[in-house]
Structure 1
């Protein structure tokens, strides 16, 4: 996918996993302190163990690729070397598999002892990237472009803080353990439902429910951003059911005036609902929106700056379906279907103008 920038935290995890893999592949066994350090590192995040598993699988594949790439004149030498390479790859895979098994046993033991499944993780996507994450309770969250969430699971609640961007949640039922999403100045509570939450740059929050029901509340944090702080004042605003959308305004929009009710709650037909969450299927769908609004939405998935030569160009109403992150497809459509001219001022700067000379 174009315009994907690796998230710095992901790169750090990859580097650490590679370093551990090199250490595991060495002739000398891990020391007691190294074993404790590795166990602590893998428990810190599910992403650590997954990255280690991926590196081990890749390491084994690379051994195979190396053998396949040996010139014919070296075939005899390769025949001698192959058993050792394959043996080391199998040994490494076995070590990682054993490590995963030990950790899995540890997790299972905690369940048998009645311990809560706790998790406190940060997940993020870069511009143009989408990512699906399965949470400890089997709930699933899909992160849209340039999105960041913090997951905080405890025995009595399941909390998600949407720090930026947009996410779509498919929630596993557990009436005794509320699932709550905090975004901007609001909170969305759900049980056995599916919905999306979009934290816009100005601070307002769009909520779209596609299944079940959610309850919405506004929060006054008195200058603090910790959702579970005792200083948080909550005001219940109402509920949304499948097919409904609403926006929780930001404090800037309300002038710090307390919100008492969702006065913008509205019903959306199935086609409109599908358009709002079409990004989860890898496409963006428009039906008569101004080109300026279309470009603003598509620009969320790209680092390309797009400007119009004239306000009248941005006011042109367009419709169509565009692949997520494929800005070039939109440019082609603007030229071939709408008769506009697209001029590349640089690799990251584009001017859209009327096709009339």
Structure 2
């Protein structure tokens, strides 16, 4: 089955930047257009708020006068003639200026949170990027000697800027993952901390006395103080498991019950599979994470089941 087209996070951030700079008050046509745009994807509202906050933060900072930490960003913006030109340049140029402002104004905070259905891309002031999955919480401490990140809950993927003098260390419970310049994800699970490496090499361990292991691109493992580390090389599986970065859920290799649980992480309308045998079946493809209706429709087409809907759930019945 063909995947449902979905915007990337970068595309959403760029569109949000352009909406943020439209002159206020909006015209009736723009009001209607903005309302339609916001209703199309739950990630868009958060992106718009971040774009508006970046500009408001810049205005407050300019009123106070520049500091050494953001002087370069402000001097760049001063060369641009208007608020509209600023965000248009950020969108057209890959978000360089906007990334600088988010690093200054967004990630100076101790903690960053994503709500249900939100996927957030966070540029850091060292050039690294963190992408947070839904319902996740991250604490960031950019010290001079090392970069410390704590995944309090949820899941995040990190693209780490190379700097041998400042190791990049992610902690999640008792687990630690150390990198210099690489890309990897960390996820809190009931049975431990899952680590997937998409680029380079990381060092990982669990507990104060755990023996570190090296994980290379395509490797995955679960870190736990209660079990020995087992490393599996499965680059294709990793790509599917990280489909959430593009707002998608990969069906490949997962039971329908597992996929339903994934959809339920992103949506207030919950999918309930009432037939245990049906829950063990599998489908192939990808679907938009914010479209549980498409998933339930795919099950109907594949297995001919009956579906009932309430204002809070999609109830998927017995397989025929």
Q: Say whether the fold is shared (TM-score over 0.5).
A: yes
Distance 1:236 1:288, change over 3 A: closer
Q: Kindly state the Cα deviation for residue 186 of structure 1 after the two structures are TM-superposed.
A: 0.2
Map 1:121-200 to 2 at 5 A. 121-200=110-189
Q: Indicate whether 1:271 and 2:236 are aligned.
A: yes
Cα 1:173–1:104, aligned 2, differ >3 Å: closer, same or farther?
farther
Q: Superposition pairs for residues 79-98 of structure 1, below 5 Å? A: 97=59
Q: Which residue of 2 aligns with 1:332?
A: 297
Query: 1:242 and 1:132 mapped to 2: Cα distance?
Result: 22
Give distance in 1, aligned partners of 2:158 and 2:223: 18
CA change 1:101–1:169 in 2 (3 A) is: farther
TM-superposed CA distance for 1:303, in Å, is 2.4
Aligned to 1:348: 312
- The 8 Å contact of residues 167 and 196 in structure 1, kept in 2 or not, is answered as yes
Determine which structure has more spread, i.e. the larger CA radius of gyration.
1
Question: Is the Cα contact below 8 Å between 2:251 and 2:282 reproduced in 1?
Answer: no
Matches of 1:271 and 1:94, distance apart in 2 = 42
Instruction: Render the CA deviation track for 1:140-195: whole Å, top value 9, x for unaligned.
Output: 00000111101011111111100111100000111111100001220000111000
Residues 170-249 of structure 1: pairs in structure 2 closer than 5 A? 170-200=159-189, 202=190, 204-219=192-207, 233-249=208-224
Deviations 1:199-238 (A, max 9, x none): 12x251110000000000212xxxxxxxxxxxxx342331
Distance 1:173 1:336, change over 3 A: same
**TM-fit CA distance, 1:306:** 2.8
Q: How far does residue 337 in structure 1 lie from its aligned partner after superposition?
A: 2.8
Call closer, same or farther: CA 1:312–1:214 in 2, change over 3 Å: same
Residues 252-302 of structure 1, C-alpha deviation per residue, up to 9 Å, x if partnerless?
A: xx2xxxx6x52x21100x422210211112211122422111111222112
Note if 1:100 corresponds to 2:65.
no
Q: 3-state SS of the aligned residue for 1:61? A: coil
Q: For residues 141 and 98 of structure 1, what CA distance do their matches in structure 2 show? A: 26
What residue in structure 1 maps to residue 99 of structure 2?
Answer: none
Q: Where do 5+ consecutive residues of structure 2 fail to align?
A: 1-16, 32-54, 73-103
1:62 equivalent in structure 2? 24
Q: Is contact 1:184-1:203 (8 Å) kept?
A: no
**Over 3 Å off, 4+ runs:** 63-66, 93-106, 117-120
Alpha-carbon displacement from aligned partner over 1:70-122 (angstroms, at most 9, x marks no partner)? xxxxxxxxxxxxxxxxxxxxxxx999648338654432679xxxxxx995521
Whether contact under 8 Å (1:309, 1:352) holds in the other structure is yes
- 1:289 and 1:312 map into 2 onto residues whose CA distance is 14
Task: Tell me whether 318-327 or 173-182 shows the greater mean CA deviation.
Answer: 318-327
SS of the residue corresponding to residue 62 of structure 1 reads coil
| Equivalent-residue separation in structure 1 for 2:63 and 2:198 (angstroms) | 38
How does the TM-score come out when normalised to structure 1? 0.62
Alignment TM-score, normalising by the size of structure 2: 0.69
Q: Which residue of 2 aligns with 1:34?
A: none
CA RMSD of aligned residues (A): 3.1
Inter-CA distance 244–96: structure 2 relative to 1 (3 Å threshold): closer
Change (3 A) 1:102 1:339: same
Looking at both structures, which has the greater relative contact order when contacts are Cα pairs under 8 Å and sequence separation is at least 6? 2
